[in-house]
Amino acid sequence: MSYYSTSITNGLMQLKMLLVKHLILHQLIKDGDTPDTCQADVLKRILERNKDTEFAKHYDFTSITNISDFIKRIPIHDYEELRPYIEKQIATGEYSIIPGKPVMYAQTSGTTGKPKYVPILKSTIESYKQTQRISSYTQYRDIPGIFSGKILAIVSPAIEGHLSNGTPYGSMSGLVYQNMPDVILSKYVLPTEIFDLTDYETKYRLIAAFALRENDISCLATANPSTLIRISEVINQHSEQLIEFVKTGNLDVLGIALNSEQKNQFTLYRNPKPQRAILLKTLQEDKGELRFCDIWPCLKGVVTWTSGNCALLLPKLRKQLLPEIRVVEMGYLSSEFRGTITIDCEQNFGIPTIQDNFFEFAEVDSWDNGNQNTLLLSQLEAGRKYYIIVTTPHGLYRYFINDIIVVTGCFQNTPTIAFVQKGKGFTNLTGEKLYESQVIAAVQETAKAHGIVAELFIMLADKNDFSYRLYLESTYVFDVLDFARQLNTYLGELNIEYLSKAQSGRIKFADVKRLKSGTFEAYKAFCIKAGQREGQFKVLKLQYYSDVQFPFEEHIEPWN
């Protein structure tokens, strides 16, 4: 892109951002002042829109006049309780769950092994685009220059297949990517066809190859930071081939299998850039490795998940960045719905999508003890953790997604929230109720005490043996027995029931096993092959052995 065309594009983007500020953000600020009123209006709109569906008639939506009526009338559902309505609409076309034919279904993994299909309407896509505009504006406002250059955005495929009725299914991130305004699309580095590749190692090598060609990337964006870490590893593992591609534009030098159709799809990215190749080779020789901040000197910001167990990956990602490069929370979002908009990129505060979805919350301990009473946004307390229950315009009614959030602050009069962990991330062998967040904190403190970095780990609970085992992959050398001793000390401080049960012999103190290098890449490949989407891949740090099929025991270092 020439300087002239870049100047025009940046001018158009500045104009667009001003329009977002005055026309869209202004209304969100106004609604944030009165969240209960906004939420009541949203619920009324959802009920009115969906009143003619089978689900609505079963629960008599037309007689619901307020939030209290809604909460009393409609039970809390998980996906399996909504699945019959969704599958009936797929099979028959009848308006079982939403009033209209979905343009697509968002696919995600289900707890039973069967995929979950969430219906997506045209209005759903428009809502996602609207929230994305606000997110882009806050990034533009808070991080000068973040969109001055090109954007390396990595998403899941928009279309991954078709259901029996012909309706496509895929990812919302891919669909939004395809439907971005031209002024944004012109800045994207990657063609959408690259996300359709099924072999993720081939995909990563192509992403690395196309990205290395560009000097002026100013923004990196992808949901999971592990994707960026993997791209960095690919760049340095295959630097010779990648630099040769940049020099010659010959895809064959990359050592990947592409058919002629796929090669033709990437024609525009095959123009040789010999001067860029010389610069990359010089950087590699001078510094010993290729870091993001050196490859892309214009880089201003990275937009990704920063909360939950993704936070464990940030130190490793940070090694690729200069201190002044900002890492921005992408927001709490899932295949089912978008939960927050990052409204403050300095503190990474996320405001719930109060204009689109109706929110309820349940205090964690109360819920786990069987109390299903819910709270509204105005009733939340700063620093407290809650389960989230959401009602969306596209057929999820009082939907329990099994996610735990924490209240981080306030925007106007609306609480800001952040994802903490999946609710599934706790184990209870004999009353200890050990939470994933406690395991993460204990491992972090133990690793810090040993002077090592522990990004890749998982703790499994054995129901038969009443024991815990931590599997940890690290390039650092450490004393496994001493690590286990300190780990149990920290766990006992964080969870007195764990300490009590272990001291009394009702459960065994956790032991630690060091894994061979590459184990978690093998685990990721195993999970993706089993149907988990690459872009949404997360390691639940605390699980039961019975829920994990991957043979971690076969990957233990022999000298453990």
Residue 405 covered by a domain = no
- pLDDT category of residue 176 using cuts at 50, 70 and 90: confident
How much is the pLDDT for 8?
A: 83
Answer yes or no: do 436 and 309 share one domain: no
Residue 370 has pLDDT above 90, yes or no: no
Residue 199 has pLDDT above 90, yes or no: no
Distance CA 289, CA 134 (A): 36
Distance CA 519, CA 532 (A): 17
Residue 418 covered by a domain = no
How much is the pLDDT for 191?
A: 87
Residue 445 covered by a domain = yes
Q: Nearest Cα to 364, choosing from 336, 383, 390?
A: 383
Answer yes or no: do 325 and 196 share one domain: yes
Q: How many other CB atoms are there within 10 angstroms of residue 475's CB atom?
A: 8
Answer yes or no: do 325 and 193 share one domain: yes
How much is the pLDDT for 217?
A: 97
The H-assigned helical ranges of 300-363 are 314-318
Residues 8-52 pLDDT 10s? 888 888 898 899 899 999 999 999 999 999 999 999 999 999 999
Q: Give how many domains the chain has, as a whole number.
A: 2
Q: Nearest Cα to 554, choosing from 523, 529, 509?
A: 523
How much is the pLDDT for 1?
A: 41
Average pLDDT over residues 309-328: 90
* Amino acid making up residue 25: L
Distance CA 95, CA 291 (A): 52
Average pLDDT over residues 131-148: 94
Answer yes or no: do 319 and 204 share one domain: yes
Residue 286 covered by a domain = yes
Residues 397-434 pLDDT 10s? 999 998 999 999 999 999 999 998 777 677 888 768 78
Answer yes or no: do 217 and 322 share one domain: yes
Query: What pairs with residue 435 in β-bridges?
Result: 426
Answer yes or no: do 194 and 322 share one domain: yes
Residue 519 covered by a domain = yes
**Of 329, 354, 384, which closes a domain?**
329
**Of 273, 300, 329, which closes a domain?**
329
- pLDDT category of residue 450 using cuts at 50, 70 and 90: very high
Residue 526 covered by a domain = yes
Answer yes or no: do 320 and 209 share one domain: yes
3-state SS class at 514: strand
Residue 108 covered by a domain = no
Residue 193 covered by a domain = yes
Distance CA 123, CA 337 (A): 13
Residue 295 · residue 280 · CB < 8 Å: yes
Residue 560 has pLDDT above 70, yes or no: no
> Mean pLDDT for the chain?
90
Residue 255 · residue 241 · CB < 8 Å: yes
Query: What pairs with residue 456 in β-bridges?
Result: 473
Rounded to 5°, angle at Cα 180 from 296 and 189: 25
**Secondary structure, 3-state, 392-443:** CCCCCCCEEEEEEEEEEEEECCEEEEEEEEECCCEECCCCCCEEHHHHHHHH
Query: What pairs with residue 329 in β-bridges?
Result: 304
Answer yes or no: do 198 and 325 share one domain: yes
**Quick one: how far is CA 202 from the chain centroid?**
22
- Domain extent, residue 267, equals 189-329
Higher pLDDT residue, 532 or 340?
A: 340
Residue 281 has pLDDT above 90, yes or no: yes
**Of 329, 349, 377, which closes a domain?**
329
Average pLDDT over residues 436-454: 91
- Pairing verdict, β 542-544 and 456-462: parallel
- Taken in order 290, 291, 292, 293, is the CA torsion positive or negative? negative
Q: What is the percent of the chain with per-residue pLDDT over 70, rounded to a whole number?
A: 96
Which helix (H) or strand (E) covers residue 119, if one does? Answer: strand 116-120
